[in-house]
Amino acid sequence: VSAAARISAEMLAFQTGMRVPYVPALSLHLSNAAYAPKTADVLMFRSQLPSAPSFRRLLKLIVADWPEAPRIVDMPQGMSFADISSFRAVVMLPHVPHALRLSDVCSMGLPTLVPADPLIHKFVWPYAGPFCGRSDPELSRSVDPLAVNRSEPPYSPFAFQGEEYVPEQFHNDRRYWLQYTEWELRPHLLRWRSIPHLLELASLSEAEAWEISSKMRRHHT
């Protein structure tokens, strides 16, 4: 037994006392795919989060008032990995603590822009059902009180993921468990604090993009 997500391994230790190895996803199916930018455009990876349309509208409004803003392109359906790798960078909105799409772009060495703390909490937790989140059945958050060697983290992974989402509470809880998400564990990601900051980071030069890509590939292999 192993866990492809560090947060899953930590939750399992909290719930059952079992200690399983963390074996991160490597996206070996993309071993022949590599970063090959053909444009300075930045790809906006598709997202089905309820907040995604509003985010894109706000992004377009700010871009329209920013003469030097990079061109950010919405991702069409059925895009190949080769097409994805042809962009200078990609923007992702985290929808769960661990997403294979993040492993895929890291495998390719594609510079990736993701929200930083505290903005990331708006995206990563509200629909984190597959990771014992509030959109998953209550049974998934059950704890064996008699289990031997259960971990005792300073904050429960479930108190802030109750049936009702309460964004104004549990700030320390979310920060503590954020460290175990792949969005925090993966190095060399470009973390933005606001849309203007996103546009600044997305304006990276070709040389800067290649330097980041090289670091990502070295870490991934």
Query: Alpha-carbon distance 21 to 6, whole Å?
Result: 9
When pLDDT is cut at 50, 70 and 90, the band that residue 202 belongs to is: very high
Query: Alpha-carbon distance 56 to 33, whole Å?
Result: 28
pLDDT of 189 reads: 98
Count H helices and E strands in the chain, helices first. 9, 5
> What are the tens digits of pLDDT across the range 25-35?
888 888 778 99
Does the pLDDT of residue 198 top 90, yes or no?
yes
| Secondary element (H or E) of residue 35 | none
pLDDT of 166 reads: 81
Total residue length of the chain: 221
> What are the tens digits of pLDDT across the range 110-145?
999 999 999 999 999 988 887 878 778 888 888 999
DSSP state of 43: E
Tokens of 99: 């997403």
Does the pLDDT of residue 106 top 90, yes or no?
yes
pTM for this predicted structure: 0.93
Query: Alpha-carbon distance 141 to 111, whole Å?
Result: 35
Name the β-bridge partners of 90.
43, 112
Rounded average pLDDT over 151-180: 90
Write down the residue that tokens 């070996």 correspond to.
Answer: 28
